[in-house]
C-alpha cells in the first residue's frame, strides 16, 4: 500500500483512496444480495389479508303463471259438400221428401253438364255411401241402374232407411263423367247432406 501511495502525488491521494475504497464497498455489496431480491418496503405490504370470495346469492325463483288448459279441438265437419259449381258442370245432393225413423227414404244426386260438355252416356255412374250410424243402405254401392240420363243431365236416386230419429249425415263419393266432342273428363266428388228424421 505504501508503494501505491508513492505513485500518486500527495496532494490528491486522500481523495483517490476514498474513491477506491468506495468502489470496493460497492462490489462487496453487489455480491451479497442480487439486485432483483429487494426487500419490500413498509408501504408495499398489504394492509389486510385478501377476503375469500363469497358465493353469489341464488336468485329468487320467479313464479310462473299457471298455463291455461288446452282448448278442445273442434268437432270434425263431415267430408264433402251438398253442392259443387265448377267450370264444366254443377253437382248437387238434395233430400227427397221428409224422413221418418224406420221408413224407406231417398236422396237425389243431380249432375248438370255445362256447354260444350254433356253427360257421358257410356260411363258407369256410381255412388259409394259412407257408413253412418242411424242410416242403412240396401247395397254398398248405388250403381248406374239408379241413374236417368239426358243429354246434359244425369239424375241418380240414392235409397236408404233412417233407423233412428234425429239428425244424420248422408255422405259418400260420386263417380261421373262429362264429355265434349273431343274429350271426356272422369271425375269424383265427395258429397254430404245433413238430414233430420222424425
Contact 16, 24 (CB under 8 A): no
DSSP lists the bridge partners of residue 156 as 109, 147
Q: If you count them, how many residues does the chain have?
A: 198
Whether pLDDT at 159 is above 70: yes
Q: What confidence score (pLDDT) does residue 151 get? A: 95
Q: Domain ranges in the chain?
A: 83-197
CA atoms within 13 A on the CB side of 21: 7
Q: Judge residue 104's burial from the number of C-beta atoms within 10 Å of its C-beta, 0-12 exposed, 13-18 middle, 19 or more buried.
A: exposed
Q: Which pLDDT band holds residue 189 (cuts at 50, 70, 90)? A: very high
Lowest mean pLDDT among 77-86, 117-126, 168-177: 77-86
Over residues 85-109, the mean pLDDT reads 93
Distance from C-alpha of 19 to C-alpha of 22, rounded to nearest angstrom: 5
Average pLDDT, the chain: 75
| Cis status of the peptide bond prior to 116, with omega within 30 of 0 | yes
Between 42 and 100, the higher pLDDT residue:
100
For 73, other C-beta atoms within 10 Å of its C-beta total 6
CATH class, domain 83-197, is: mainly beta
Distance from C-alpha of 75 to C-alpha of 193, rounded to nearest angstrom: 17
Q: Single out the residue of 142, 135, 152 nearest to residue 173, CA to CA.
A: 142
Whether pLDDT at 17 is above 50: no
Q: Which long-range contacts (CB under 8 A, 24 or more apart) does 35-42 make?
A: none
CA distances from 64 to 61, 67, 68 (A): 9, 9, 12
Amino acid at each position: 500500500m505504501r508503494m501505491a501511495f508513492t505513485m500518486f502525488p500527495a496532494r490528491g491521494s486522500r481523495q483517490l483512496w476514498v474513491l477506491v475504497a468506495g468502489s470496493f464497498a460497492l462490489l462487496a455489496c453487489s455480491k451479497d444480495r442480487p439486485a432483483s431480491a429487494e426487500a419490500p418496503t413498509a408501504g408495499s405490504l398489504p394492509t389486510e389479508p385478501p377476503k375469500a370470495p363469497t358465493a353469489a346469492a341464488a336468485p329468487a325463483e320467479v313464479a310462473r303463471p299457471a298455463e291455461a288448459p288446452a282448448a278442445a279441438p273442434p268437432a270434425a265437419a263431415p267430408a264433402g259438400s251438398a253442392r259443387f259449381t265448377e267450370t264444366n258442370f254443377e253437382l248437387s245432393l238434395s233430400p227427397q221428401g221428409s224422413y221418418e225413423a224406420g221408413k224407406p227414404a231417398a236422396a237425389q244426386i243431380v249432375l248438370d253438364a255445362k256447354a260444350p260438355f254433356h253427360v257421358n252416356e257410356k260411363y258407369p255412374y256410381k255412388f259409394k255411401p259412407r257408413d253412418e250410424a242411424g242410416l242403412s243402405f240396401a247395397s254398398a254401392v248405388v250403381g248406374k241402374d239408379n241413374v236417368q240420363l239426358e243429354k246434359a243431365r244425369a239424375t241418380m236416386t240414392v235409397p236408404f232407411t233412417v233407423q233412428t230419429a234425429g239428425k244424420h249425415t248422408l255422405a259418400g263419393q260420386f263417380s261421373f263423367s262429362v264429355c265434349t266432342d273431343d274429350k271426356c273428363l272422369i271425375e269424383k266428388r265427395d258429397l254430404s247432406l245433413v238430414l233430420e228424421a222424425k
